[in-house]
Chains A and B, each alone.
Chain A
Amino acid sequence: MNILGLSCHYHDSAAALLADGELVAAAEEERFSRKKHDSGYPAKAVAFCLGKAGLRPQDLDYVAYYEKPFLKFERILTGCAATFPKSAGLFRRAMKSWLGEKLWIKARLARELGVPEEKILFCDHHLSHAASAFFCSPFEDAAVLTTDGVGEWATATIGKGTASWQEGGKQSLVLSHELRYPHSIGLLYSAFTAYLGFEVNDGEYKVMGMAPYGKPRFETEVWKLVSRFGDGSFRLALDAFAFQHDAERSFTNEFEKLFGPPRKPGTRFVTAQTSLYDDTNAPGASELAENQRFADIAASIQAVTETLVLEMAAEAKRRTGSKNLCMAGGVALNSVSNGRLWRESGFERIFIQPSAGDAGGALGAALYAHHALLQKPRRHVMTRADWGQEFSVGQTVDSLKSAGANFETFDDEARLLERAVDLLRQGKVVGWHQGRFEWGPRALGNRSIIADPRSEKMKDTVNIKIKFREPFRPFAPSVLAESADAYFDFGRREVPDAASFMLMTFPVKDKKRAEIPAVTHVDGSSRVQSVGPDAPPLYRGLIRGFQQATGVGLVLNTSFNLKGEPIVNTPLEAFATFMDSGMDALVVGSCVVEKDKLQTASSSWRTSWRSSQAPDKNLVF
């Protein structure tokens, strides 16, 4: 039984393939098309998934799409009618894309894949999220909480899942209650993302990164936008928001009356605690005060979000009585609120789908079809996230040769690791490209940039010289699971499942903060990736090697991309990104390239390669 799950047309398009309930492959389209947050039909991701399983489209038993197009269309029309006459612009824009494309998704899928229409299934958006978490979790019984911007009508749901590993056992996933549009925790957070000068659906984690520079002194003002019912549900004060009737704006003048003028996109963020690095232009008192206001607003919306998520989780616990919690939806990527859930919600175990955003819906839709429709027993627990494309030694060597690079090849893994550890110890920043790329927005050691976490300067170096991004952004550590407790305060005895996917933030233990400054955020917190026995062995070997050499069982890990670009996929993309950035060395498979030893890779190769790799251009009307 082969089921292809698909998500597309909104934010991040993706494909995932199940063969007899086992996950074979899952990937976001952006990794192939090189267009960040690509939302088009995921033709390349589909081709990759089918190729990985050696299947043709006609071998598919079902194609499961991650949402209900008619319900969404109805919600958009109803929203336009309810906000008439303010919604003329939104209506025009929405109708062009719906009548031109989105309404006909079933015909499009049938045509693209050449499958009969009866094989195409449609799974509710939040049910797809819920299934992506529950049917990937290790639990037979769990409460489920999904939270995002909006799906069809729902913006958050709670429910319960029961699953069995035995043939004939009951498989059930029921979402019993929902919060409905426009009352949305995701859209609330996104309104602040836009207010703080970042791009909606992309900059939310920048708001989260900015929050620790501030104090939540605007929390009372944020609560003026949100009235709680005392059971985890709430209403938004709609006159402060514009997203219901405006495609360009998220908030109104009422919002600005509470918080002051918004931050201009692209302006530098500088407070008394942020680094200036090599910026010689010292900030004046008014710039500092203005930015401190923005940091305080970020801290306030973050605090409110955490409270709301905790209350929703409490309601999910009350209604289901379960000791396990599964989460997905864009808000489930808020690692700070997830960390608090771990410490404060009272759930014994928490599983979060690593691809918690809309891309993950592709996998959820397929899993729901497999378990709820076909009543097949559980076969899969997601203990690792590497479900993307991989490259052979031959392909890697050919790629590097085609780029004119000179490199060393190590047939012996131990020697490869030794060299990589040596480079890290010398303070070198290393591009690390191994195995299959990760599912979800986090790089977990297969498409990563890694560095020594002990260096005070490393955070600035990687932010500014390597990734060309804002100096206030924090970095995460990859820590050996068995050493994690020595560095981080999990608030409980065990290390949470979700830490394998870098989905929770915890305080760094006081006595360790000075030891690992590059991965300790300004408030002493850290978004920990715990690297356990299920993680790729080479990556574990690298961290263990670093521990043996330095006594520190963790490395700095950030995604292998430059600002605004998707994470690299191929060895050639890795090499080009390596050449375009200030990285010192690149380890691709068993090959090691060192920048100061490079002889022939010419800048003309890079220029012509870059221009030939311009992202696919979709015409948008």
Chain B
Amino acid sequence: MPEAESRGLWAGLKAAGRAIASFQADFVLTAVYYLALGPASLALKLSGRNPFGAADAKTGWKPREPVDPAEHLKSQG
């Protein structure tokens, strides 16, 4: 097979593989969403904590913890 043609075939195979992979990832992630995030969401609701801020808050400003620059910059979180 000429080189150009085999490269085209390989590229085609890879593209098809990616399309299937993307579909598969959607499928698996949907399962994770309902089976793992669903219960966690329920737990979050039962705990009564509203991560989007309590509705009866008196202000939207939240004080920030003071940071030590060295520790702050080292951490990814």
- Which residues of A line the B interface, CB within 8 A? 64, 68-71, 74, 77-82, 84-85, 87-88, 91-92, 95-96, 106, 121-124, 127, 157-158, 174-183, 229, 231-235, 238, 244, 315, 368-369, 372-373, 619, 621
Question: Among the listed A91, A233, A619, which residue makes an inter-chain contact with B29, where contact means beta carbons less than 8 Å apart?
Answer: A91
A238–B44 Cα distance when bound, in Å, is 18
Nearest CB in chain B to that of A81: its residue: B41
Query: When A179-B60, A234-B60 are in contact, do A124 and B72 touch as well, CB less than 8 Å?
Result: yes
**Which chain A residues border B22 with CB–CB below 8 Å?**
96, 621
Would you call B33 and A235 a contact (CB within 8 A)?
A: no
Can you pick out 6 interface pairs between chain A and chain B where the beta carbons lie within 8 Å of each other?
A: A74-B77, A81-B40, A81-B51, A88-B30, A92-B29, A181-B52
Would you call B37 and A80 a contact (CB within 8 A)?
A: yes
Question: Among the listed B26, B50, B75, which residue makes an inter-chain contact with A68, where contact means beta carbons less than 8 Å apart?
Answer: B75
A499–B37 Cα distance when bound, in Å, is 49
Interface of A: prevailing SS: mixed
Nearest CB in chain B to that of A70: its residue: B77
Which chain B residues in 26-66 approach chain A with CB under 8 Å? Answer: 26, 29-30, 32-34, 37-38, 40-41, 44, 50-53, 57-64, 66
B73 at the interface (CB under 8 A from A): yes
Question: Among the listed A68, A84, A244, which residue makes an inter-chain contact with B41, where contact means beta carbons less than 8 Å apart?
Answer: A84
A272, chain B: closest CB distance, angstroms? 39
A91–B32 Cα distance when bound, in Å, is 10
B70 at the interface (CB under 8 A from A): yes
Query: When A64-B73, A92-B29 are in contact, do A175 and B64 touch as well, CB less than 8 Å?
Result: yes
Would you call B44 and A81 a contact (CB within 8 A)?
A: yes
**Which chain B residues border A181 with CB–CB below 8 Å?**
52
A235–B38 Cα distance when bound, in Å, is 26
A153–B52 Cα distance when bound, in Å, is 10
B71, chain A: closest CB distance, angstroms? 10
A597–B73 Cα distance when bound, in Å, is 57
Would you call B34 and A178 a contact (CB within 8 A)?
A: no
Would you call B63 and A176 a contact (CB within 8 A)?
A: yes
**Which chain A residues border B72 with CB–CB below 8 Å?**
123-124, 127
B18, chain A: closest CB distance, angstroms? 7
**Which chain B residues border A85 with CB–CB below 8 Å?**
34, 38, 41
Would you call B77 and A96 a contact (CB within 8 A)?
A: no
Would you call A182 and B18 a contact (CB within 8 A)?
A: no
Would you call B52 and A82 a contact (CB within 8 A)?
A: yes
B8 at the interface (CB under 8 A from A): no
Would you call A178 and B25 a contact (CB within 8 A)?
A: no
A178–B26 Cα distance when bound, in Å, is 35
**Which chain B residues border A369 with CB–CB below 8 Å?**
73
B69 at the interface (CB under 8 A from A): yes
**Which chain A residues border B40 with CB–CB below 8 Å?**
81
Nearest CB in chain B to that of A91: its residue: B33
Query: When A88-B30, A157-B64, A621-B25 are in contact, do A235 and B53 touch as well, CB less than 8 Å?
Result: yes
Question: Among the listed B41, B69, B76, which residue makes an inter-chain contact with A368, where contact means beta carbons less than 8 Å apart?
Answer: B69
**Which chain B residues border A92 with CB–CB below 8 Å?**
25-26, 29-30, 33
Query: When A81-B37, A85-B38, A229-B60 are in contact, do A183 and B53 touch as well, CB less than 8 Å?
Result: yes
**Which chain B residues border A78 with CB–CB below 8 Å?**
44, 51
Nearest CB in chain A to that of B14: its residue: A619
**Which chain B residues border A231 with CB–CB below 8 Å?**
59, 61
Instruction: Output the residue of B41, B44, B70 with the most chain A CB within 10 A.
Output: B41
B42, chain A: closest CB distance, angstroms? 8
Query: When A69-B76, A621-B25 are in contact, do A180 and B44 touch as well, CB less than 8 Å?
Result: no
A74–B41 Cα distance when bound, in Å, is 14
Query: When A91-B37, A95-B29 are in contact, do A177 and B73 touch as well, CB less than 8 Å?
Result: no
Query: When A74-B77, A85-B34, A619-B18 are in contact, do A178 and B51 touch as well, CB less than 8 Å?
Result: no
A321–B18 Cα distance when bound, in Å, is 57
**Which chain B residues border A619 with CB–CB below 8 Å?**
18
Query: When A180-B53, A233-B60 are in contact, do A96 and B25 touch as well, CB less than 8 Å?
Result: yes
Question: Among the listed B37, B51, B75, which residue makes an inter-chain contact with A122, where contact means beta carbons less than 8 Å apart?
Answer: B75
Question: Among the listed B18, B58, B61, B67, which residue makes an inter-chain contact with A179, where contact means beta carbons less than 8 Å apart?
Answer: B61
**Which chain A residues border B61 with CB–CB below 8 Å?**
158, 177-179, 229, 231-233, 315
A244–B53 Cα distance when bound, in Å, is 13
Would you call B18 and A621 a contact (CB within 8 A)?
A: yes
Question: Among the listed A64, A69, A82, A123, which residue makes an inter-chain contact with B44, where contact means beta carbons less than 8 Å apart?
Answer: A82
**Which chain A residues border B18 with CB–CB below 8 Å?**
619, 621
Query: When A177-B62, A229-B59, A621-B18 are in contact, do A106 and B76 touch as well, CB less than 8 Å?
Result: yes
Would you call B70 and A373 a contact (CB within 8 A)?
A: yes
Would you call B77 and A71 a contact (CB within 8 A)?
A: yes
Nearest CB in chain B to that of A126: its residue: B64
Would you call A229 and B44 a contact (CB within 8 A)?
A: no
Nearest CB in chain B to that of A62: its residue: B73
A233–B53 Cα distance when bound, in Å, is 12
A122–B29 Cα distance when bound, in Å, is 29
Would you call A177 and B51 a contact (CB within 8 A)?
A: no
